[in-house]
Structure 1
Amino acid sequence: MTKLVFKGSWNEIKGKMKQKYAKLTDDDFLFTESKDDELLGRLQRKTEETKQKLRDYIASL
Structure 2
Amino acid sequence: MEKKKYASNTRAKNKWNAANYDRLYPYVKKGKKATYLAAAQATGKSLNEWIETTLDAAAQQANEE
TM-score tier (shorter): 0.3 to 0.5
* Structure number with higher relative contact order (C-alpha < 8 Å, ≥ 6 residues apart): 1
**Which structure: larger Rg?**
2
Q: Higher helix fraction: Structure 1 or Structure 2?
A: 2
Compute the TM-score of the two structures, normalised by the length of structure 2: 0.38
Compute the TM-score of the two structures, normalised by the length of structure 1: 0.40
